Structure 1
């Protein structure tokens, strides 16, 4: 009788954990959805009122022309950037030297004592 009681008790605890976890996850998703759908537009509207800035359309924005900046200057700048990015800074030879490093024997790193423990 106690064995059946323990089994049903474990199952009921599992269901409680399952329901609690699902409630937390879906509740969080619901709160985020409501925030992004209703609270964020209200906050942006309040910010717009506080900043008193009028939204400009792209047609209304006119770039300021610099009469001294010509196509030759733009070409020189782009050529300099191209040459800088394609330049190899380090010209090294392709000779590799491989030296064998000697490792000192240490019983602390020896695996034989972990495998063949004869106690």
Structure 2
């Protein structure tokens, strides 16, 4: 009677093992197919929807703002410098370690845990 029980448990373990392996490897195959075929298709559809030409960086013209002067750039740079400087406290690198002595507590005493059985 014990042997068929063991056999059922072993067979059940193999079923769980094979099912788990099939799930994992099928998910990996589906992901590989999606990244190989699905993403290029989605990018092509996105390109059709947006109808934008592919521009290279060298083709993009930079337009200068006439109102942006050096004084504005200096004010922005100074404010960023002050903001980043206030984020960190300047502390000394000296560590002080003080030993703390624990006070006596009867709750942690092992004497009260002993019992006399006479």
Q: TM-score range by the shorter chain?
A: 0.5 to 0.7
Structure 2 partner of 1:62 = 61
**Unmatched runs of 5 consecutive residues or more in structure 1:** 89-119
Q: How far did 1:48 drift?
A: 1.0
Q: In 2, Cα distance between the equivalents of 1:47 and 1:85?
A: 40
Change (3 A) 1:37 1:70: same
Aligned length, in residue pairs: 87
Q: How far did 1:30 drift?
A: 0.6
Structure 2 partner of 1:47 = 46
Structure 2 partner of 1:20 = 19
Deviation readout 1:38-84 (Å, 9 max, x if unpaired):
01101211221122111111001112101221223212211122113
Structure 2 partner of 1:100 = none
Structure 2 partner of 1:72 = 71
What's the Cα RMSD here?
A: 1.5
Q: In 2, Cα distance between the equivalents of 1:12 and 1:77?
A: 71
Greater RCO (CA < 8 Å, at least 6 residues apart): 2
Q: In 2, Cα distance between the equivalents of 1:62 and 1:84?
A: 33
Describe how 1:28-47 pairs up with structure 2 within 5 A.
Answer: 28-47=27-46
**Unmatched runs of 5 consecutive residues or more in structure 2:** 88-118
